[in-house]
Amino acid sequence: MKFSAKLSWEKNAGESFIDGKYSRVHKWLFDGGAELSVSSSPEVVPVPMSDESTIDPEESFIASLSACHMLFFLSIAAGKKYIIEKYEDYPEGFVDKNDDGNLAMIKITLRPEIIFSGPVIPSKEQVSEIHSLSHARCYLANSVKSKIEIVSGSN
């Protein structure tokens, strides 16, 4: 499998660039035509050089991990004949120094809330097992050193 995207940034007219006071806003373009406006986080680079109304790479990182986990969870649950009406997650990422002294996303917490329906509702243990399988199969989670914690709020 191979995946690709296009990133595009251009200096705004009147910006010096070498003074460090340039816009970090840029575009991410994907093969299906989706386009996102992206910027550095205002917690990393202050406004007005960042745009807090856009997605930032840190948010994208945790959302991607959450989406990967969710998609595997949905697939596994469907295979076990559990009906899911709704799946929501509230992922959080924590940046701190890693063991090498570099800033890194050291921990990601997924907080999925799942509503099941139908004739068979999985037990908490069965939901936990599906989360474990989903985590093991999520190749994004398998690609990072960050500790990933799953705190399930399923019914």
- Determine the pLDDT at residue 155: 59
Q: pTM for the complete prediction?
A: 0.91
Q: Which residues pair with 108 in a beta bridge?
A: 93, 148
Helices (H), 4-123: 57-79
Query: Residue 62, class by beta-carbon neighbours within 10 Å (0-12 exposed, 13-18 middle, 19+ buried)?
Result: buried
- Determine the pLDDT at residue 145: 87
What domains appear along the chain, each with residue ranges and CATH number?
1-55 (no CATH), 57-150 (3.30.300.20)
Q: What is the DSSP string of 121-144?
A: ---HHHHHHHHHHHHHH-TTGGG-
Regions of the chain with pLDDT less than 50: none
- Determine the pLDDT at residue 111: 97
- Secondary element (H or E) of residue 36: strand 35-38
